[in-house]
């Protein structure tokens, strides 16, 4: 049986995603586009958990479309729209 996630692991993951969000908010246009000519940008992978944050910025708004592991079901989020 798999060991359940501990509160500490979950808290560390949330902290890492919040850190990624702050970096994106500081420079939303400073990260590469995903798959070339889409409107989506990619931050990451994050330092500890190796997830990427897929987002789109529109004016002053930031929309996070996915927090995805790069080796699991890549592109599953591609049809999401804001």
Average pLDDT, the chain: 83
Residue 77 lies in a domain: no
Number of domains composing the chain: 1
Residue 40 lies in a domain: yes
Residue 79 lies in a domain: no
- Who's near 42: CB < 8 A, 6+ residues apart? 31, 32, 33, 34, 52, 53, 54, 55
Q: Give the pLDDT score at 43.
A: 86
Report if pTM > 0.85. Answer: no
| pLDDT band (50, 70, 90) for residue 23 | very high
Domain that holds residue 18: 7-68
Higher confidence at residue 66 or residue 1? 66
Residue 44 lies in a domain: yes
């Amino acid at each position: 049986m798999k060991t359940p996630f501990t509160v500490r692991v979950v808290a560390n993951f949330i902290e890492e995603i919040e850190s990624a969000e702050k970096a994106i908010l500081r420079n939303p246009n400073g990260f590469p586009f995903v798959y070339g000519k889409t409107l989506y940008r990619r931050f990451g992978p994050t330092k500890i958990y190796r997830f990427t944050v897929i987002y789109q910025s529109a004016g002053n708004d930031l929309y996070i479309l996915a927090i995805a592991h790069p080796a699991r079901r890549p592109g599953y989020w591609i049809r999401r729209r804001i």
